[in-house]
Amino acid sequence: MESPRQFSLVSFIALLAYFAFLASAELHVREFVVSWLISYVIAFLFRHGIRQLRNPWADGPEYITQCPIRPGQSYTYRFTIEDQEGTLWWHAHSRWLRATVYGALIIYPRLGSPYPFSMPKRDIPILLGEWWDRNPMDVLRLAQFTGAAANVSDAYTINGQPGDLYRCSRAETVRFPIFPGETVQLRVINAGLNQELFFSVANHQLTVVETDSAYTKPFTTSVIMIGPGQTTNVLLTANQRPGRYYMAARAYNSANAPFDNTTTTAILEYVNAPTRRGRGRGQIVPVFPVLPGFNDTATATAFTNRLRYWKRARVPLQVDQNLFFTVGLGLTNCSNPNSPRCQGPNGTRFAASINNQSFVLPRRNSIMQAYYQGMPGIFTTDFPPVPPVQFDYTGNVSRGLWQPVKGTKAYKLKYRANVQIVLQDTSIVTTENHPMHLHGYQFYVVGSGFGNFNPRTDPARFNLYDPPERNTVGTPPGGWVAIRFVADNPGAWFMHCHIDSHLGWGLAMVFLVENGRGQLQSVQAPPLDLPRC
Ligand code: C2O
């Protein structure tokens, strides 16, 4: 068995080999140089969830905090991890490159500092991914041309393998040997591009102990729901009959839209599992788990509603900035409907927006650099704090409200402001769960519900005692979710839907958090090797 330390050594060597491959393949990806830091972690591309305090330069999203690393160039991400531990991950942050460029980023507590639960000896990263038979960049390019939805993936993967339900890959299905009676921790990461997933292990209960690098009050469940961008740590005890058990993931699909309805599997294998004798000799057939139906919003909601922070949380009680953001899809009308570039519904092009603003990435400079250098013309700071027009967000929305406006707009926040954002899903095109991710911050999820948020009655039911802390939260389909955080990290921070097709359609905005007083409350100077635009 590998100990965590051996695992990180093995994965480190594997990653180095992977990097060498990427470099030699001259992919148009952000390059990277591995660098050891004051702390015990390695630097990569965009580190999803690392707070990068006062250091947006190490955050990674292209045209938000830096320009992309061109082929042949390099950029060393140097950063310090402050007060964070648990499961995060890293991925490319340029178009759809993260389909293949991603990995786990695990932060162990300081030596000698305890876990709030009894930590198993073994730790198993479970990276859920999405697989296209075609080059994902071509899939994206085609969708960008036609304006229609991108093709759905052809398979999901567990640690890179689609598993036993595919003849071509059966021999390489990932297997996890386990000792009878042993407890292990699974660090489940949804690195998929476009799909929330249900995940379950046949006959075994899962005890949730952490989400998005924040500990939770432990609770036991047979299935978890995990959105793109999210991580969930669960404990699993091998207390079943010695045998072989599938772990499996498949879609939670909340939208009225096509989706990849395949199932990915890996095998949990008791080391003392019996084998079959005589004819058909060999390993016994694994038991298959029961997974919820694709559109089982009740199960997804029941799961997320059980999450609680592990202790009393330091939730901001007063709110300085009360923001109300509608999030959802839209359609852009065409002067030439149904032409090759207008193949979306009724001859339109798909769009998405927050408060009717469909985000467009700048091209000449990154927002952070333009802000730091005082360069005008890259973005504006007039992002609306509330929807420009009020309507019945989850009702029957009139067609006149389906077309968002395009722009590159940021919203300014004062240093250390207490911020509340209510994210309200809309029924424009379709209601849907949108996994909303905020860079540079962890936030508390203080409330959620279905239908339209009611500012008079809903806040009374907020959990200000032990709400779960996250960096990515799903809006209930046709509902709302409220988050709170203290704006204590100056810089330009992207907030976006972690479904990459929605991100590409503009479901994003930027927070510009101003500096406080003095050096320790201000953005650091950019590194000298920051890629040039
Ligand atoms: Cu994990 Cu901006 O994304």
pLDDT tens for 231-275 read 999 999 999 999 999 999 999 999 999 999 999 999 999 999 999
215 C-beta closer than 6 A to ligand 1? no
- Measured in angstroms, how far is the CA atom of residue 49 from the centroid of ligand 1? 8
Q: What percent of the chain has pLDDT over 70?
A: 91
Q: How confident is the model over 295-320, as pLDDT tens digits? A: 999 999 999 999 999 999 999 999 99
- Measured in angstroms, how far is the CA atom of residue 93 from the centroid of ligand 1? 7
Give the ligand 1 atom nearest the CA of 439: 2
Mean pLDDT of the chain: 92
- Measured in angstroms, how far is the CA atom of residue 502 from the centroid of ligand 1? 13
The C-alpha atoms of residue 407 and residue 252 are separated, in whole angstroms, by: 31
Is residue 157 within 8 A of residue 203, CB to CB? The reply is no
Model pLDDT, residue 216: 98
437 C-beta closer than 6 A to ligand 1? yes
Whose C-alpha lies nearest to ligand 1, atom 3? 48
Q: How many other β-carbons are positioned within 10 Å of the β-carbon of residue 93?
A: 25
47 C-beta closer than 6 A to ligand 1? no
The C-alpha atoms of residue 234 and residue 223 are separated, in whole angstroms, by: 10
270-278's contacts with Cβ under 8 Å and 24+ in sequence apart are 270/177, 270/178, 270/179, 270/180, 270/238, 270/240, 270/242, 270/243, 270/244, 271/177, 271/178, 271/179, 271/180, 272/180, 272/242, 273/242, 273/243, 273/244, 274/242, 274/243
Instruction: Say which residues have a Cβ less than 8 Å from residue 19's Cβ, sequence separation at least 6.
Output: 32, 34
474 C-beta closer than 6 A to ligand 1? no
Q: H or E stretch including 142?
A: helix 136-146
Model pLDDT, residue 45: 65
End-to-end CA gap in the chain:
47
Is residue 193 within 8 A of residue 130, CB to CB? The reply is yes
93 C-beta closer than 6 A to ligand 1? yes
Model confidence at 25, pLDDT cuts 50, 70, 90, reads: very low
98 C-beta closer than 6 A to ligand 1? no
192 C-beta closer than 6 A to ligand 1? no
Is residue 64 within 8 A of residue 492, CB to CB? The reply is yes
- Measured in angstroms, how far is the CA atom of residue 48 from the centroid of ligand 1? 5
Give the ligand 1 atom nearest the CA of 60: 2
The C-alpha atoms of residue 240 and residue 273 are separated, in whole angstroms, by: 11
User: Three-class SS string for 418-447?
Assistant: EEEEEEEECCCCCCCCEEEEECCCCEEEEE
Give the ligand 1 atom nearest the CA of 472: 1
More confident site: 36 or 528? 528
- From the list 506, 507, 503, 509, the residue with the least C-alpha distance to 194 is 503
Whose C-alpha lies nearest to ligand 1, atom 1? 48
- Measured in angstroms, how far is the CA atom of residue 100 from the centroid of ligand 1? 14
